[in-house]
């Protein structure tokens, strides 16, 4: 049986997927009946302006004989190699010394799940609450501005990704991406994520998915403890020997997988005090921009806007400013989504984006950010955690500027570009609410300057981006971690053996998929230990 991957088959708007088999048979010049299996591995939209949007497919087919793929110029064909398998586990865990995973975000969850499924039960400790309880806390923040220190958009079951768009795009090429996606589908994610070019789950579905992942892990013999913040790392002669949780309980282990995300500032402070080698790293910051979704659809799809098979349109824009040595780019675009308040510490305002599976809200939003270099925030003390203090400063300014009640400062896009104090901004999707403000006041000057120039450049690429109907809300600071916990090729901290820093907070990932993959990488390293 020959397995072929065929890329570049197109269907026009309105053409049914059912005709794919016929198209492939005619392309290969074989009868339809000889296509034994057909699997769509990728479906994307080509909506370049000025021509009708088309759907582009990549498919895997199996046929019972060899086929000469030459001469089929319109598509690409390749014979598929064997799939890479996840390793089985040779390590033996001493009774009472199961690996401890700290943090129940994508990195911790997938590390824990893989180990559990391979016969190594773990203890997963999470400072936040279970999804159902967390949801109540987050709603109360959005509705009344009451922030709970240990239960918010960043802390709790599922980590920072639970209240997200659930976009699963990643630039990382990794053979285990497929395993992550099938695991998510088995846990209740929509099956289209296996084939969509821009897969997304939506926060409403993600909330059930993370619970199902936890239950799967528990069925394999693992234990999950919520409201269990790790306050100390037990180290003896350069080796991790366990952790201490907030009630003072000591838990012994030889493997601490630390997947605490980028908002666990206290945890990084504790590591620094223990002499764990940390280094500052660049990140990006800026604002969120919101447009009516209809307007974005009109720009991207032109006269085909509103066609039933077309999803709400998205965009990705970049602008290089070589004279300033800065780049401006859009990030985490949420079509049909909401801008949400994501405060993680008292007295700070942070924005981010979220959407439901249907992406049917009337707004489109995206972060518009500028790269921040280490020299921008490092002072004479060269403190490795100075990035945290830097972003905190701007989050506090936003808090104060918007009335100290977790509303966010907002300005119409056109007013920001003209540096003009505006009146009441356009209605927005943001909760808990916005206050008109001059956004330049809550940004480092070079970020504000770069944004002003970059957005003008965006409008050249996507005419209509600058409009009276667009609103900017700030500040967007949690694009990625401003610190890295340095680890060696064996996945362990270079200063403490047995400590496995992992995921976004450790500086090795950014986004749901890459964090999950980093969790898998660490679990794999541990499993291959003799």
Ligand X SMILES: Cc1cc2nc3c(=O)[nH]c(=O)nc-3n(C[C@H](O)[C@H](O)[C@H](O)COP(=O)(O)OP(=O)(O)OC[C@H]3O[C@@H](n4cnc5c(N)ncnc54)[C@H](O)[C@@H]3O)c2cc1C
Binding-site ranges for ligand X (CB under 6 A): 102-108, 125-128, 153-156, 159-161, 163-167, 229-230, 259-261, 264, 267, 332, 340, 342, 352-354, 503-505, 509-513, 515
- Cα separations in angstroms, 128 against 22, 139, 157: 52, 15, 7
- Cα separations in angstroms, 395 against 357, 403, 477: 29, 13, 8
Least Å distance between CB 213 and ligand X? 12
- 156/336 with CB nearer ligand X: 156
Least Å distance between CB 351 and ligand X? 9
Rounded to whole angstroms, how far apart are CA atoms 166 and 327? 25
- 395/415 with CB nearer ligand X: 395
Rounded to whole angstroms, how far apart are CA atoms 222 and 219? 7
Rounded to whole angstroms, how far apart are CA atoms 259 and 239? 18
Least Å distance between CB 263 and ligand X? 6
Rounded to whole angstroms, how far apart are CA atoms 4 and 329? 37
- 193/372 with CB nearer ligand X: 193
Contacts of 82 (CB under 8 A, 6+ apart): none
- 391/412 with CB nearer ligand X: 391
Q: Strand, helix or coil at 456?
A: helix
- 261/422 with CB nearer ligand X: 261
Contacts of 86 (CB under 8 A, 6+ apart): 114, 118, 176, 179, 520, 524
CB 506 within 8 A of CB 278: no
Q: Other CB atoms closer than 10 Å to residue 136's CB: what's the count? A: 12
- 229/255 with CB nearer ligand X: 229
Beta strands in 215-317 (DSSP E): 223-225, 230-236, 239-245, 250-252, 256-258, 278-280, 283-292
Least Å distance between CB 239 and ligand X? 20
Least Å distance between CB 164 and ligand X? 3
Least Å distance between CB 462 and ligand X? 21
- 167/397 with CB nearer ligand X: 167
Least Å distance between CB 141 and ligand X? 12
Least Å distance between CB 125 and ligand X? 5
Q: Are strands 223-225 and 123-125 parallel, antiparallel or unpaired?
A: parallel
Least Å distance between CB 161 and ligand X? 3
Least Å distance between CB 278 and ligand X? 15
Beta strands in 219-261 (DSSP E): 223-225, 230-236, 239-245, 250-252, 256-258
Point out which residues pair with 354 in neighbouring strands: 338
Q: Strand, helix or coil at 221?
A: coil
Q: Pull the structure tokens for residue 141.
A: 């923040």
- 117/232 with CB nearer ligand X: 232
Least Å distance between CB 61 and ligand X? 30
- Cα separations in angstroms, 484 against 89, 387, 480: 28, 11, 10
Q: Pull the structure tokens for residue 481.
A: 């971690």
- 334/370 with CB nearer ligand X: 334
User: Residues for the chain: how many in total?
Assistant: 530
CA angle 253, 255, 258 (to 5 degrees): 115
CA angle 325, 331, 335 (to 5 degrees): 150
- 244/324 with CB nearer ligand X: 244
- 261/409 with CB nearer ligand X: 261
């Amino acid at each position: 049986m020959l397995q072929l991957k065929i890329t570049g088959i197109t269907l026009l708007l309105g053409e049914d997927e059912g005709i794919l088999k016929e198209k492939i048979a005619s392309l290969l010049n074989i009868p339809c009946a000889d296509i034994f299996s057909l699997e769509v591995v990728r479906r994307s939209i080509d909506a370049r302006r000025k021509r009708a949007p088309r759907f582009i497919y990549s498919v895997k087919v199996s046929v019972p004989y060899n086929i000469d793929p030459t001469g089929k110029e319109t598509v690409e064909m390749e014979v598929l190699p064997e799939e890479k398998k996840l390793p089985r586990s040779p390590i033996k865990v001493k009774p009472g010394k199961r690996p401890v995973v700290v943090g129940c975000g994508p990195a911790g969850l997938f590390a824990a799940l893989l180990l559990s499924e391979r016969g190594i039960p773990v203890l997963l400790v999470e400072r936040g609450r279970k999804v159902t309880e967390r949801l109540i806390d987050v709603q109360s923040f959005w509705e009344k501005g009451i922030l709970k220190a240990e239960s918010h958009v960043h802390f709790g079951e599922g980590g920072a990704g639970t209240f997200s768009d659930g976009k699963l795009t990643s630039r990382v090429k990794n053979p285990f991406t497929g395993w992550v996606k099938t695991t998510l589908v088995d846990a209740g994610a929509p099956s289209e994520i296996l084939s969509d070019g821009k897969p997304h789950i939506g926060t409403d579905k993600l909330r059930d998915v993370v619970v199902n992942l936890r239950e799967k892990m528990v069925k394999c013999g693992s234990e999950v403890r919520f409201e269990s913040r790790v306050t100390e790392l037990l180290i003896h002669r350069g080796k991790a020997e366990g952790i201490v949780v907030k009630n003072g309980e000591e838990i012994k282990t030889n493997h601490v997988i630390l997947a605490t995300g980028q908002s666990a500032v206290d945890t990084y402070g504790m590591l620094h005090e223990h002499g764990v080698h940390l280094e500052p790293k660049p990140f990006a910051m800026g604002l969120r921009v919101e447009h009516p979704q209809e307007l974005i659809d009109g720009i991207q799809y032109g006269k085909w806007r509103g066609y039933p098979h077309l999803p709400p349109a998205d965009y990705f824009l970049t602008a290089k400013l070589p004279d300033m040595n800065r780049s401006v780019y859009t990030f985490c675009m949420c079509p049909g989504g909401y801008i949400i308040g994501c405060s993680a510490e008292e007295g700070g305002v942070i924005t981010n984006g979220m959407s439901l599976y249907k992406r049917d809200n009337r707004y489109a939003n995206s972060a518009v950010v500028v790269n921040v270099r280490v020299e921008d925030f490092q002072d004479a003390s060269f403190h490795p955690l100075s990035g945290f203090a830097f972003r905190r400063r701007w989050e506090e300014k936003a808090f104060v500027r918007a009335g100290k009640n977790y509303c966010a400062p907002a300005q119409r896009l056109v007013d920001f570009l003209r540096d003009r104090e505006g009146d009441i901004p356009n209605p927005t999707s943001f909760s808990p609410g916005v206050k008109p403000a001059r956004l330049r006041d809550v940004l480092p000057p070079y970020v504000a300057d770069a944004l002003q120039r970059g957005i003008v450049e965006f409008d050249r690429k996507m005419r209509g981006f600058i409009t009276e109907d667009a609103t900017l809300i700030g500040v967007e600071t949690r694009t990625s971690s401003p610190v890295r916990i340095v680890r060696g090729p064996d996945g362990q901290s270079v200063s403490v053996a047995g400590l496995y820093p992992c995921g976004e907070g450790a500086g090795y990932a950014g986004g749901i998929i890459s964090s999950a993959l980093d969790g898998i990488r660490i679990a794999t390293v541990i499993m291959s230990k003799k």
